[in-house]
Structure 1
Amino acid sequence: MKATRDWFGEALVEVAGEHDDVVVVNCDLGSATKTLMFKETFPERFFECGIAEANSIGVASGLAQEGYRPFVASFGHFLTGKYLEIFQSVGLNDSGVVLVGTHAGLAIGKDGPTQMGLRDLALMRTLHNVQILHPADGDETRQMLGYIVDNHRPTYLRLCRQPQREVHGPGYRFVFGEPDVIRRGEDLAVFTMGGMVEILLDSLPLLRAEGIDPTIVNVSSLPVNRASVERLAREHRSVYVVEDHFVKGGISDELARILLEMEERVRFGGWGVEDYGQAASPADLYERYELDVQGVAARITNFFRDRDRER
């Protein structure tokens, strides 16, 4: 197993071999963001700006305006923390910059909330012309890189630190905005993204023991296709969201806007991080926030049982 940041580093070198316009603007975190492989292969296309995300975003925007496809890589918390620079240089100019935010969610562990990417989706979702992508495994990461270099839209690529196993079969094809049904069930649709896909799959034995048969949906790109979400909601009548992100501003909010505008009534709930985060080992943090296998299964079970009591 590898982290999606590792798969990204390898895939970036592969696509850069076929696209001369791909360059990297680095923020002194090449080892952590896995851009050093690119530097070793294409040193003349690698620009080190140091610990200066704001400047890096401006440099990348200028490169994009000149026809390059620049990738700016840093921790997601640091990178999206330069929201003003992203808004001004990337958003307003519609610059084809790829903002690569690694260390999404709680998995950075003991480094704590000052470095956890827990509010990045909320920030990037406010920029209407920025496409957001968050892969669940290596295959999806590689396919996303192919998609990204074939267009010049402003992009936020969210990546995880923790190792993740492959969750897709050989026939999977990434389609931007399309909800990816990982596993088909009958009782309710559970939406998630990134590293939480694996957690949900591992929770299935516990859910089956409670008589719950969920559909698991990987929302790996935003904005999500409204018609597809509505179809899944109609099929299940109950929708739950699990995300390694603040409960506010993430995919819960993305889906809730769609569901509230449907004529049909759909029961909706969700779970994520309700405070600023804490510092501890990743395992302890996921347990504390009920985003480990047992916690997720318990949250979904309680939601499902509450539905039955309401009938």
Structure 2
Amino acid sequence: YPTGVPPPVVEATEEQHEAGEAAGSAPSLLLRGWLSQPLPAAPALALQQGGLEAWTAEHAAGLRSAGSLDGWGGGSQLGPGERDWPDSLSVHSYRVYCLLGDGELSEGSVWEAMAFASIYKLDNLVAILDINRLGQSDPAPLQHQMDIYQKRCEAFGWHAIIVDGHSVEELCKAFGQAKHQPTAIIAKTFKGRGITGVEDKESWHGKPLPKNMAEQIIQEIYSQIQSKKKILATPPQEDAPSVDIANIRMPSLPSYKVGDKIATRKAYGQALAKLGHASDRIIALDGDTKNSTFSEIFKKEHPDRFIECYIAEQNMVSIAVGCATRNRTVPFCSTFAAFFTRAFDQIRMAAISESNINLCGSHCGVSIGEDGPSQMALEDLAMFRSVPTSTVFYPSDGVATEKAVELAANTKGICFIRTSRPENAIIYNNNEDFQVGQAKVVLKSKDDQVTVIGAGVTLHEALAAAELLKKEKINIRVLDPFTIKPLDRKLILDSARATKGRIVTVEDHYYEGGIGEAVSSAVVGEPGITVTHLAVNRVPRSGKPAELLKMFGIDKDAIAQAVRGLITKA
């Protein structure tokens, strides 16, 4: 805001409310609400010109999350609407309101959210469906068939009320109805109500009034004002107890033994359960994969802080955003990393909303084996690296995984932890220090000839390749990036210069957007440095993990061959 002071929260009653927005035309409504309150000087009101945004973001006062993404609002309102949590996490007296446009009711994520709300009986959640008949380019599918909207909402377990959306009396009466279930207020409205030549007409979406119509319409609006008395809302009362989510630390060091084997997906579940003992603000969400992601360990130890979201990944991410608002909880979502691609819209909106959520994706790469390509995450690093505010963790053993979970809980923005299915050896001591953006030199000597960078499964393949090459009197330096974003550029450059500028990257991911491209971007323009990139180059198939690593050229033999090729070329 040009003045440096955001507008105040707009409240309607003494009971504390939270606003959620999805309907695309809502920013002007919010602007009118803000204008009803004492505001600083007029420059703050430059809508869509650097001051106020055309579509709202979370930093706009009174909002919980960003608006304008059709289908986004419903799910993101579910987190604070949760009623079945224990007292420490409950929402206390406030109600949650979500404004939905009829056009976005074609979005499947809206109905994911509505199903979830009824399953958990979120009776403090109110959705206002603005049924104005018109979409952006055509009429909405059901137009003004209000009874069908009502039947659909009721079929999803909601108390549904049809009202005249232009009647303040009917709206107030509907808001006052209390049921032991979520409520949908289905408001029949008309775009441009009361404006000659505009009401209920198509082709006005996002268009300003032409000058030759403006004066007449302004006078029509003024003629409808019955009282010039300004009524200011009573400020809400905050009755939720204060909580602290800063500096959440593990209660003890990891307890692994070097050489023992554990899958990082299981280490994630153990670490999250352990962190849950350090703070009752840690919560876990899963999409019916808890026995694969091992979030079931958290559920067993902290059942009242686990939310089963079922196979509805878009909604799960939206719920996590809702849980993270108001800085009252630290949510961790888990599912197969491949399934997060379904929720990319919600993830990017979480970043726009400046949300702090943690996502753990398991079953990455061809190394999952027999389950086949539909379950193999091979695009996830590219996806999460592209998200602003993201931190991308790729731990390679149990110790690193536990540290990644702890760091994610204390890192702002969108944190992604990539975990693997195969069991691999513990390579770090329990007191090893890990930090965001700091890589590890896992293996080195004074006469290393090539730097090899791998993560997860491929880091262990790189160490195996080092053993093969050692028999040929070829030494390599092996780096574990730990975080792919941010990347430890300094250590990579130092290692490359110490190994005659030769780098080999190897990853269980497609070529595009993963470790290889991250490293290449980090060293671009640096003289004398070459990067050889090993990655999955086509859609994979089912098979045993070792067979697939070999088939796609990312196993120890492929790494050793790439190293030999660089040395021979010199």
TM-score by length of 1: 0.94
Cross-structure match for 1:250: 514
Query: Is 1:125 paired with 2:385?
Result: yes
Q: What amino acid is the match of 1:110?
A: E
Paired residues for 1:88-99 under 5 Å: 88=349, 90-99=350-359
Cross-structure match for 1:209: 471
Distance 2:301 2:441 in 1: 36
State the shift of 1:72 in Å: 0.8
1:73 match: secondary structure: strand
Q: What amino acid is the match of 1:203?
A: A
Give the count of matched residue pairs. 305
Distance 1:38 1:77 in 2: 22
Query: Structure 2 stretches of 5 or more lacking a match?
Result: 1-260
State the shift of 1:290 in Å: 2.2
Deviations for 1:119-152, whole angstroms, at most 9, x for unmatched residues? Answer: 1001111112100001111111112222122233
Match of 1:267 among 511, 521, 530: 530
Cross-structure match for 1:40: 300
Contact 2:454–2:481 (8 Å) recurs in 1: yes
Paired residues for 1:130-141 under 5 Å: 130-141=390-401
1:245 match: secondary structure: strand
Distance 1:252 1:17, change over 3 A: same
Q: What amino acid is the match of 2:506?
A: V
1:131 match: secondary structure: strand
Contact 2:450–2:563 (8 Å) recurs in 1: no
Distance 1:80 1:167 in 2: 31
Q: Which moved more, 1:275-284 or 1:224-233?
A: 224-233
Deviations for 1:12-60, whole angstroms, at most 9, x for unmatched residues? Answer: 1111111222111110001001011111111111111100000000000
Structure exhibiting the larger radius of gyration computed from Cα positions:
2
Contact 2:452–2:504 (8 Å) recurs in 1: yes
RMSD: 1.4
Cross-structure match for 1:78: 339
Cross-structure match for 2:547: 284
1:157 match: secondary structure: strand
Q: Which moved more, 1:223-232 or 1:3-12?
A: 223-232
Cross-structure match for 1:15: 275
Distance 2:300 2:477 in 1: 43
2:432 match: secondary structure: coil
2:401 match: secondary structure: helix
Contact 2:455–2:507 (8 Å) recurs in 1: yes
1:239 match: secondary structure: strand
Match of 1:144 among 375, 399, 404: 404
Query: Is 1:238 paired with 2:502?
Result: yes
Distance 2:358 2:520 in 1: 27
Q: What amino acid is the match of 1:100?
A: C
Cross-structure match for 2:310: 50
Distance 1:76 1:170 in 2: 27
1:7 match: secondary structure: helix
Cross-structure match for 1:2: 262
Deviations for 1:145-164, whole angstroms, at most 9, x for unmatched residues? Answer: 22122233310000000001
Distance 1:37 1:169 in 2: 23
Contact 1:97–1:154 (8 Å) recurs in 2: yes
State the shift of 1:296 in Å: 2.3
Deviations for 1:225-257, whole angstroms, at most 9, x for unmatched residues? Answer: 322322222222111101111112101111111
Cross-structure match for 2:482: 220
Q: What amino acid is the match of 2:520?
A: A
State the shift of 1:95 in Å: 1.1
Cross-structure match for 1:61: 321
Cross-structure match for 1:24: 284
Q: Which moved more, 1:274-283 or 1:33-42?
A: 274-283
Q: Percent identity?
A: 26
Distance 2:479 2:458 in 1: 11
Distance 1:164 1:282 in 2: 12
Distance 1:105 1:300 in 2: 23
Query: Structure 1 stretches of 5 or more lacking a match?
Result: none
Query: Is 1:100 paired with 2:351?
Result: no
Cross-structure match for 1:191: 453
Q: Which runs of 4+ in 1 moved over 6 A?
A: none
State the shift of 1:171 in Å: 4.9
Work out which structure has the larger RCO, using CA pairs closer than 8 Å and 6 or more positions apart in sequence. 1
